[in-house]
Structure 1
């Protein structure tokens, strides 16, 4: 099969790899029909996440058709059209039983602090991802779901991570009716978080970024007020001014470790193999929210030191809610919103790129070229 393969920072290419095989009776092999490049994939692409090994195939956002199933799989059969959540989870451990699929205790032998994801380095289990023609899906009776007949493929694809994560970010904000919500980051997850904030009763939604084309999308797609932080001496001061000097009720960090990577990140990530991430957006969120407010964090951060202003959060009496999104837990609500027309997830897709040109897709997305917001990857077998 053709698959995207990592060869080092900024070095990826399409290679021939063996089609994955059934390794456990509850595995399934999925023929990928659509995949996507996620903003968090850029941390891998730039060499900023530890233990990203040469030969790995990225991709935790994908949908496809069941090609094979293991002998114990009960819920799927060949030919089924399925969407696969980014999380890999067992469905039966203490965490999974409570819906904390991103914290599954049984799927990542490398750590107890993080669960498992497809195609996201060996820190999250070392599973190959879906930027390929085929992918092995473990625990096939637990993760994948049949795509509803009425749902378009591209909308289903967005549910596998970006939309679910944005919605989860708004959930973590514990938004009350008429709350003022500020979202840091106008990438796909930030756009979805801003849109979801309205669904949860927000009275005002503000989005902060530094790319004008993404801010334009935030106005068009999420109907948000927008701020380009490069145009202000201090964006935190501006947020205070524009909220009656109180601050927002809820701040959502949809940035995480900066995907572009600053100098320190490149030294610690590519040379020392340590990457905690710059906490600039998170500190802005802490400073911009009012006393007693809530900060929601679902951006991607590494597993080591981050210079977070925890003392300020403590002294302001803030509530900090955070986690990696348990994707499938969000799907019932998202399906209803999509079916009722409140959400059209595919509206943020800007580029559709053949798998054989995925290196160019990463370059476009990473370098913010051609007003790229969300690139979708199409394997040649699905074209």
Structure 2
């Protein structure tokens, strides 16, 4: 089959790889009908996530038709149309039983590697490094889905691939970001990053009752899309974000702040941002947490900082003194996608949201390597790429 594979920093190829096969009784094989490039895939593309190996198949936003089912899988049948969560979860362990599917104790066969880095291992992830399982991803013609009797959700025939594909990751992630904010009527939510996850967080914040959303970015197309949803936008290259948020909130600051950027924050003129880039370039740091620092300072006393942008290692100069003395709450996670799927599918079916609004480019797998670069460099108005294998 054809698939997009990783061969080093900036080197993504479309090439032939072996077809997946059933390896365990609860597996399923799907024929991929739509897949997407995620912002977190760019961390792989940029070479900042460790334990990747040449030839790894990428992709964790996929859906398609079930073509083979393991003998122990009683939930799916051949012909079912499903969306596949990026988190791989057994459904039976301590964490899965409590709805913390992204903390699954059984789905990462390489958990010892993750423990050495983080103290404990989260769930295995599709198409995302050997530290998180080394599973082949879904930017391919076919995908093996482990624990497929727990993860995939069946899709009603009346909905298009484009409407439901993002249930695999970015819609639940953006919704969780807003859900973590415990939004009350009248709240003002500030969101850093107007990429795909940030766009979902903007609309989710309004769905959950926010009165105002302040969206921080600098890319014109992303800011325009945020304004279409009703957000007030702040261009961080043209104005001071902290001063502007103070002005817009009459000095109180935002009720909650969402970091939808993570480790590879864009460079700004601020001193801390420049230091972050120097540290990463000289291997003296693992992440660039400029946005997290700013979100902490822009959050009102006893507010919430919600973190869904990906961080990988140890963060420098995080202002914990500000957080502690002002009573901030931190909420963060890899998204337990399965927890949110039924609710979000219902919202799509009811017409409360159509996640396809974020798609700017539709392509083939063969066009994938060039679109990785275009997406990273924010060229041609590229906000979200969907590929049709």
TM norm structure 1: 0.94
Q: Is contact 2:261–2:291 with CA below 8 Å preserved after alignment?
A: yes
Structure 1 distance, partners of 2:121, 2:244, is 36
- Tell me whether 1:81 sits opposite 2:81 in the alignment: yes
Distance 1:268 1:291 in 2: 31
- The aligned residue for residue 231 of structure 2 is 224
* Partners of 1:48 and 1:269 within 8 A in 2: no
- 1:288 to partner: Cα distance: 0.5
Could you tell me whether the CA contact under 8 Å between 1:48 and 1:270 is conserved in 2?
no
Separation in 2, partners of 1:360, 1:377: 12
2:38 corresponds in structure 1 to 38
- 8 Å CA contact 1:93–1:104 kept in 2: the answer is yes
Q: In the alignment, what sits opposite 1:184? A: 192
The match for 1:195 is 203
Map 1:150-165 → 2, pairs under 5 A: 150-165=158-173
Q: Greater CA deviation, 326-335 or 159-168?
A: 326-335
SS of the aligned residue for 1:284 comes to: helix
The 3-state SS of whatever aligns with 1:360 is: helix
Deviation at residue 123 of structure 1 after TM alignment: 2.0
SS of 1:63's equivalent in the other structure is strand
Q: Residue by residue, what CA displacement relative to the aligned partner does 1:285-335 show, whole Å, maximum 9, x if unpaired? A: 100011111111111110334432222111111011111111121122212
Give the structure 1 partner of residue 340 of structure 2: 330
SS of the residue 2:56 aligns to: coil
Note the 1:136-285 alignment, pairs <5 A. 136-220=144-228, 222-232=229-239, 234-258=240-264, 276-285=286-295
Report the Cα distance in structure 1 between the residues aligned to 2:70 and 2:178, rounded to whole angstroms.
37
CA contact (8 A) 1:50 1:269 kept: no
Partner of 1:119: 127
The answer to whether the Cα contact below 8 Å between 1:9 and 1:270 also exists between their aligned partners in 2 is no
Distance 1:268 1:237, change over 3 A: closer
More displaced 10-residue stretch of structure 1: 97-106 or 251-260: 251-260
Aligned length: 376
3-state SS in 2 of match to 1:257: coil
In structure 2, how many angstroms separate the alpha carbons of the residues matched to 1:263 and 1:7?
A: 29
1:370 corresponds, among 366, 377, 380, to 380
Q: How far apart are the structure 2 equivalents of 1:69 and 1:269?
A: 44
Partner SS, residue 231 of structure 1: coil
Q: Is the 8 A contact 1:47 1:270 kept in 2?
A: no
**Contact in 1 for aligned 2:4/2:14 (Cα 8 Å):** yes
Is residue 26–residue 140 contact of structure 1 (8 Å, CA) maintained in 2? yes
The 2-side partners of 1:218 and 1:45 are apart by 26
Q: Could you tell me whether the CA contact under 8 Å between 2:66 and 2:80 is conserved in 1?
A: yes
User: Structure 1 residue 131 and structure 2 residue 139: aligned?
Assistant: yes
Structure 2: give runs of 5+ residues left out of the alignment.
Answer: 115-119, 268-272
Cα deviation digits, residues 99-119 of structure 1 (max 9, x gap): 101111111133223222100
Match in the other structure for 1:286: 296
Distance 1:271 1:128 in 2: 31
**Structure 1 unmatched ranges of 5 or more:** none
> Cα deviations across residues 274-293 of structure 1 (Å, max 9, x unaligned)?
97321111111100011111
Residue 260 of structure 1 and its aligned partner are, at CA, apart by 6.0
1:300 and 2:310 equivalent?
yes
Matched, 1:345 2:367: no
Instruction: Give runs of ≥4 in structure 1 deviating > 3 Å.
Output: 259-272, 303-307
What SS does structure 2 have at the residue aligned with 1:286? Answer: helix
In the superposition, the TM-score normalised over structure 2's length comes to: 0.93
Q: How far apart in 2 are the matches of 1:325 and 1:343?
A: 19
Contact 1:190 1:254 (8 Å CA) reproduced:
yes
For residues 128 and 376 of structure 1, the distance between their equivalents in structure 2, rounded to whole angstroms, comes to 18
